[in-house]
Amino acid sequence: PFLSLSFLSAPVHLLSLLFFSLSLSTLCHDISMAFQVEGVVFDLDGTLLDAEPLYEKADVDLVAEYGHELNWEVRHHIIGKPEKVGARIIIDAFSLPLSEEEYLQKRGETLHKLFPDAQPMPFAVEVVRHLAEVCKLPCAIATSSWRHNLKLKRMKNGALFDPMQAIICGDDEVVKRGKPHPDIFLAAASAIGIDPKKCIAFEDSPSGVEAAHRAGMRVYAVPDERMERSLFEKADEILSSLREFKPESLGLPSF
């Protein structure tokens, strides 16, 4: 269409501002479209499932049996870490007379009573369903948690687990090294048949964010509000909750 005379007579600086805005909009669109997402990998505990408070209660109660108080200063170091690594951190912090296996066995007795009541994180079901069913993206879970705990965690959470095409656990043979190494995310991407560089990942822990980043994925961090945001420098975006995720920023259908 022809430009109107009123447009042609507009002040030069306004025309310059208009063309700058149009160019900026095009540039932002090109940047967002440069990344074509083909798969999704989710962390589980603290990202999709509100299980971290359950782990925290079990750890607090067990440490209290030995006359100590587990504080956040110690607790935040174990979030997202492999089970034995987390156990070792607590054992060393309080000089507990337990091996890693003994600690995890005693803690497991409490967790097995708590896991069946685990609830989804806010908006987790909506995000999973949207990406899997509306966007038609293959989805997987990459969790440091051991596989024998999955049955208890998914008892009331079929809406989270059923859309998953693969679930990789920290004690699976394909995971030679736990987070922050990329092994578990690479295994998850392989399980759904997608190049990890074409996957997005959702994580709540610094070690998990680093693992997904090292796997080549675009990473969305959804940290506990008590966590320092500076610990998530490897994340492509930090969200206060899953509600803040905007699929349209990736060229996907919006909620």
| Backbone CA torsion sign across 104, 48, 80, 67 | negative
Q: Determine what percent of the chain falls in helix, strand and coil, rounding each to the nearest 5.
A: 50, 10, 40
Cβ-Cβ contacts under 8 Å for 35 (sequence gap 6 or more): 218, 250
Q: Is 45 a catalytic residue?
A: yes
Q: Is 224 a catalytic residue?
A: no
Contact 123, 48 (CB under 8 A): no
Q: Which of 43, 59, 183, 204 is catalytic?
A: 43
Cβ-Cβ contacts under 8 Å for 19 (sequence gap 6 or more): none
Q: Which of 45, 59, 183, 204 is catalytic?
A: 45
Alpha-carbon span 98 to 111, nearest angstrom? 18
Which residues are annotated as catalytic?
43, 45
